[in-house]
Amino acid sequence: MINIDANELQKLYIAYFGRPGDPSGINYWLSRSNQSLDLTGISNELSMQDEYIKYTSYDKSFDFKINKLYLNLYNRKADFDGLNYWMKMTNSKEYKISDIVYELVFSSSKPYSVDLKQEKKDSHILQNKIFAAELFTKQISKSITLINLYKPDSISPWISGNSFIRVSNFFSHINEKTVSIDHINNFIASLSDTPVSILNEPAIEIKDTSLSIPIYQTENRSFAKKITKNVINITGGALRKSKNKTSIIALNNINLTIMKGERVGLIGHNGSGKSSFLRLISGIYIPTSGNINVLVDVYPMLQKTFLTSTELSGIDACKAHYLLKNHSLDGFESFLNEITEFSGLGSYISLPIKTYSEGMSARLVFSILTSTPHECLAIDEGFGTGDADFCDRAEERMKQFMESAATLFLASHSEELLKQFCNRGIVFSHGSIVYDGPLDAALNYYHTHDYYRKNVVG
């Protein structure tokens, strides 16, 4: 294990990007250092990230890149001797930009002749920037909503977010004057047109909440007694037996607050509690104990089911959903036309659902459920979208559907999907929450701690 602290990582973020590290980024590199990645390796990997290549250094000369490093670190361009030195090192020793960054931020003095007064000023400015960066990241880390605010508009393709640009501009003006925590807090509050107090409005509050699911099969009681005594579960919730019944503890002592606007990925092995949690916040399950306060309209997209009998037609299914959402049939005709066109069912929309193939049923229910934006979505990845020729349209629609939600819960085994849509990660194991934090850190925790994944799946 290599000991790297957040202070050293902040130096690299300031050099490359002119901004403090975002909490998930800092946690990611700290976790990588536990895998024997040193600062030289981290510097090299940062130099290859899209944020640096596409936003900072794309199609730029080497002397431009060197001057940009000096501006980020010291608020000035490289002096004549410094620029010549680095250009010479690049030509004769094949120095990369990551080598220059490493020497600039981790060497006690510059490796070329420099005015002592200027060197002292450079050191003072850099120390102030590092101090401000640590304050900034610490304050941002106190709210997942603020973490979500401090992020790019897009990762693929890379598009820098407004908050990144504003933070970089703020740090470009930090000089020898001391930066206070009040100064940082005031700046954080100004990052959004929406006051921070509003950004911190809770969507769902859960306190000391548990969920037990009873098992009533009388013929299996002797078997249930046996397994509750002798079997150690590697998946699923705990089994609890009383005198009259056996219960599965699907969720155990959940304490959680989700803020409006958060994008939460639910992580864990099969049977860990993810789906039960989605059903709990959707109102499908009622908690056995504890309190849950849902302050948003949670829309569940959990399984391929209809509001109507399969004896009725696809039109009836559309009508039931539309009435539930709008409480009238005003505008239903255009809604039906859109569903019919997107699902590709054509005239089959008027036939009983029981005559549909499984793929046709999946097309219809997917088209209905993703037809309008929602305040809060609860999505189980296992929902599915049906036929292969429908997948491309479904994938694009699902992306728009998830992006339209103010608050999102997504249970998935796909890290790519979670990283695309979520910033916060909650890891479940045997019905309990074992980790809650930035998504990258949550995924790292799951990889290094999950018994089921390491011993059963692996």
Report helix angle 62-74 to 116-140, nearest 10.
70
pTM of the full predicted structure? 0.53
Residue 271 pLDDT exceeds 60: yes
Q: Rounded to whole angstroms, how far apart are CA atoms 40 and 93? A: 16
- Check: CB of residue 410 under 8 Å from CB of residue 250: no
DSSP tag of 352: B
Question: Tokens representing 375?
Answer: 């305040």
**What is the side-by-side order of every strand in the sheet holding 407-411?**
298-301, 376-380, 407-411, 263-267, 424-429, 432-438
Closest by CA position to 368, among listed 341, 388, 395, 391: 341
Q: What is the mean pLDDT of the chain?
A: 82
Kindly report, residue by residue over 340-360, the tens digit of the pLDDT: 988 889 999 999 999 998 788
Kindly report, residue by residue over 404-456, the tens digit of the pLDDT: 667 889 898 888 888 877 888 999 998 999 999 888 889 989 988 764 445 44
Q: Is 293 left (phi over 0), alpha (psi -120 to 50) or beta?
A: beta
Question: Tokens representing 297?
Answer: 């309209």
Kindly report, residue by residue over 277-287, the tens digit of the pLDDT: 999 999 989 99
Residue 262 pLDDT exceeds 70: yes
Kindly report, residue by residue over 5-62, the tens digit of the pLDDT: 889 999 999 999 999 998 878 877 887 776 678 899 999 999 998 889 887 777 778 8
Residue 371 pLDDT exceeds 50: yes
**Domains located in the chain, CATH noted:** 6-198 (no CATH), 260-457 (3.40.50.300)
